[in-house]
Structure 1
Amino acid sequence: MRRILLYFILLLAIARPLHAQKIISIKLDATINPATADFIHRAIETAQAERATCLLIRLNTPGGLLKSTRVIVGDILESPVPVVVYVSPGGAHAGSAGVFITMAAHIAAMAPGTNIGAAHPVSSQGQMDTIMSAKATNDATAFIKSIAAKRGRNAEWGAQAVRNSVSLTESEALENNVIDLIASSENELLTNIHGKQVTVSTGTVVLNTKSATIKSIDMGWGEKMLNILSDPNVAYILFLLGLYGLIFELYSPGAIFPGIIGGICMILALYTMHTLPVNYAGLALIVFGVILFLLEIKIVSHGLLGIGGVISLLLGSMMLIRTDGTWAVANLSWTVIITAVAVSSLFFLYVIGMGLKAQKAKPAVGLEAMIGEIGLSLSELNPGGTVRMHGEIWKAISRSGLIPEGKKVVVTGFLNFTLQVEPYNEPSA
């Protein structure tokens, strides 16, 4: 019995190294934003929970938000599981934020026909003043140098990528010690990194990837929605729709539908703006512009309030995303801004204006519609009698003394289905 037990223990000891390892794989083909940061964080946690030999990130990004990039880099540097970043497929690009993520990886690889670089920070509108530009550039330079020093990569090139927006092909990146290897396929990559030693937050580990099984995980629906909402253009449009919906509900209490849609859009917009570098002065200018449009409808200003609303909405839209060193992919499209301002201006100054005029117009039906109409007295009004209005006979009371039979009268009011009339004076020629 003891011999059988020893054989069983020996068999387990032999079988354990032969047990197939697992690799968690994700595909990141998007801008870097809070959604992608959450996705990578979840992938690292999944890899740790499932004791994967590594996390493989197939990267293709033009860049994104600096704040989200710092979160991702921090997760990778502190990861207890080796992270392999593979810029692929051919034609893919690790730009701006992608440079930081690639250089932070324990193993950095690129596919043939890919490139990396152009990491100079700019404002969301493409321009910053000299002081802000210098601060953002120096901050990003120090950031990438610290990453390169941690991974033993080319810190000087990283600084050049930030300061001068230089880029490299995959072969140049390998020659300049920016990446570790070039692999034409995922299988070639896993074969080449098999047996490599890497240092993670918990110590040194050896990669066992040659015969490992690959488990791919995708973004959850919440992450996908946040990824869409993280687009500043979407957040801007949602905010305007939410603002308009709530205003329409206040103007027409009980309409319900505008209030519901406006509330949903406003909540989504505020949630999205929480993840973006929003300038609250720009937000205030947008709200002020809409208020000026409403005042233009109510107050006769000969167009001054309307012009002020257009200017305020335009300036607020331009200032909405704060210039804090984000990359150019996180900008607010000029096409969206101009379209939103034009549509908003036309809508408020024409559509709502016409609607309010219609509300103030004379009623077309009912007793209110009779006011100002001209009829004929069918009997003497002293003060009561009957008149013919629109081919109908109505009871009427004279408000200005005796009115003979057969005289034209004009309706000035009504009381309990009895018309109040006065003599009609023909306009002089």
Structure 2
Amino acid sequence: MKIKSVVASVIILLSLFSLINPFSADADEKIVYVVPIEETVEKGLLAFLERAVEEAEKANAEAIIFDVNTPGGAVDAAGGIGKLLTGTDLKTISFVNKQALSAGAYISLNTDEIYMVPGSTMGSAAIIDQQGNTAGKKAESYWFAAMKSAAVESGRDPIYAQAMADESIDLPELGAGKGKLLTLTAEQALEVGYSEGTVKNLDDLLKKLGYENAEIRNVDVTFAEKLARFLTHPVVIPILMTIGSLGLVLELYSPGFGLPGIAGLSALLLFFYGHLIAGLAGFETLILFALGIGLILLEFFVPGGIAGTIGFLAIIASFFLASDNIVHMGISLLIAMTASILLSILMIRVFGKKMKFFRRIILTDSTSTDKGYVSNKNRLELIGVEGTTVTPLRPSGTIVVDDERIDAVSEGAFIPKDRKVRIVKTEGSRIVVREIPDRQ
């Protein structure tokens, strides 16, 4: 009995211990998140990284490794990403797996550590506008300060970050200066303290950091996030708006609701969908857009111009509300409107007579007499008939033919009253007469 009691007591104690410290072996296992930063930096990428960082924080991850391979992108998106990375308490590491240029360099500088693979590059961070030209002095000043601040916050010499954005800084030993922006190779970055080391691949990095036995969690971009990143791309936005405006304009000139209207409405809905998924807009912008479309349709039934004007302004306002960059949205709208006007003219003038679709919405026939279009019956039976003027013809007046008064015109000459005339031409209601000379 005593032995049984002892065994039972041991079992109970072990059970209690397991409840107090369950899976003690797994509790010591480290969790490391690996998050890709690829392609163009835009607002869709910011929304994806916010989700990834939130997941890592909830999982109490040891660190987040950002697999960087980007040529750069939007400055405002890069600024948001930099704020996100410096705002988390987790250890952040940039793994430059080919290139971290422009906004990519700024993002990397906002992480705690940077590692690069052989042959990778980082730098060349000039700020340019949507046309590929250098931005204005105000934007450049902001970007120079942002690059410097990112380097200082991460404990790196800011002169190299400034040289990445300012071609006037002379660093000839690194190939910068005299009109050239600084771009660091993996060896140069390690030399100037902009990299903590050079590694062959991700596995080599994990081993170097002591995470070779950690649980690696890869955060992949969902289809919705990929679509949002594509739809919020600075080049795609004006294309969507051009298709939308052109489709709706063509729909106004065609009967019913057909392909142009569907294409235009779909393009605009994709625009709002991308901004909704990226977290740039709320449903209020979509409601405002729908209200604007409704007011424009109401204009067809309640003429006056007020409803249509308010509807147009509501649509424009919804576009600006969906974007956090008024300048970029204004440029996109200008591009869309200009392209829509030019394409409309091109399709009507060049393709209007060749394509069946455009023949349905464009009037190409002329109402000529040769084609049977007359406003009055053409009285051909009067040609050659004689009559008498009852009023002078100057050159128009009235004649009498078999007791019927007829409005007529002369061939140009004045014909007095009570003169004999002969009808020489009839064109609908126009009766042309010629005076008959008196016979001596």
TM-score range for the pair, normalised by the shorter chain length: 0.5 to 0.7
* Alignment correspondent of 1:149: 152
Q: How does 1:270-349 map to 2 (within 5 A)?
A: 343-349=343-349
Displacement after TM superposition at 1:80 (Å): 3.0
> Which deviates further from its counterpart, 173-182 or 142-151?
142-151
In the other structure, the counterpart of 1:268 is 270
1:98 aligned partner: 104
Contact 1:100 1:147 in 2 (8 A): yes
Cα-to-partner distance string for 1:156-192 (whole Å, 9 max, x where unaligned): 2111112122110011101111121211011110111
1:302-334 Cα offsets, whole Å, 9 max, x none, are: xxxxxxxxxxxxxxxxxxxx9979xxxxx99xx
Are residues 1:70 and 2:90 paired?
Answer: no
Residues 329-365 of structure 1 show CA distances to partners (whole Å, capped at 9, x for unaligned) of xx99xxx9999886554213333477366454459xx
2:93 counterpart residue number: 84
CA spacing shift, 1:137–1:351, aligned 2, 3 Å: same
> In the alignment, which residue of structure 2 is the partner of 1:127?
133
The structure-2 alpha-carbon separation of the partners of 1:362 and 1:3, relative to structure 1 and needing over 3 Å to count, comes to same
The separation in 2 between residues aligned to 1:6 and 1:234, in whole angstroms, is: 65
Distance, in Å, in 1 between the alignment partners of 2:327 and 2:126 is 13
Q: Deviations over 1:62-94 (max 9, x none)?
A: 001111111111111111322221111xxx110
8 Å CA contact 2:244, 2:265 repeated in 1:
yes
State the TM-score, normalizing by the size of structure 2.
Answer: 0.60
Of 97, 104, 120 in structure 2, the residue corresponding to residue 114 of structure 1 is 120
- Report the Cα distance in structure 2 between the residues aligned to 1:36 and 1:259, rounded to whole angstroms: 31
Q: How many residues align?
A: 319
| Residues 148, 155 of structure 1: 8 Å contact kept | yes
**Following TM superposition, by how much is the alpha carbon of 1:99 offset from its aligned partner in structure 2, in angstroms?**
0.7
Cα RMSD for the two superposed structures:
4.4
Distance in 1 (CA, whole Å) between partners of 2:250 and 2:77 is 36
Equivalent residues of 1:43, 1:55 under 8 A apart: no
Superposed displacement of residue 258, structure 1: 2.2
Distance in 1, Cα, partners of 2:364 & 2:131: 42
Tell me how far apart the structure 2 counterparts of residues 225 and 173 of structure 1 sit (CA, whole Å): 34
Would the alpha carbon gap of residues 272 and 344 (structure 1) be closer, same or farther in structure 2, given more than 3 Å must change? farther
User: Residues 331-370 of structure 1 correspond to what in structure 2 (within 5 A)?
Assistant: 343-352=343-352, 355=359, 358=363, 360-361=365-366
Residue of 27, 38, 51 corresponding to 1:42: 51
Q: Who is 2:413 aligned against? A: none
Quote the residue 2:238 is aligned against: 236
Instruction: Report which of the two structures shows the higher radius of gyration computed on alpha carbons.
Output: 2
Report percent identity of matched pairs. 23
Which amino acid in the other structure matches residue 97 of structure 1? A
- Could you say if the C-alpha distance between residues 35 and 357 of structure 1 is closer, same or farther in structure 2, counting changes exceeding 3 Å? closer
Contact 2:126 2:164 in 1 (8 A): yes
- In 2, Cα distance between the equivalents of 1:31 and 1:375? 75
Which structure's relative contact order is higher, taking Cα pairs within 8 Å and 6+ residues apart?
Answer: 1
| Counterpart AA for 1:191 | K
Evaluate the alpha carbon distance shift between residue 161 and residue 371 of structure 1 in structure 2; reply closer, same or farther with a 3 A threshold: same
Match for residue 140 of structure 1? 143
> Structure 2 unaligned runs (5+)?
1-7, 168-180, 281-324, 382-403, 406-425, 434-440
Cα distance in 2 between the residues matched to 1:237 and 1:13: 56
Find the aligned partners of 1:338 and 1:358 in 2 and give their Cα distance: 24
- 1:163 corresponds in structure 2 to 166
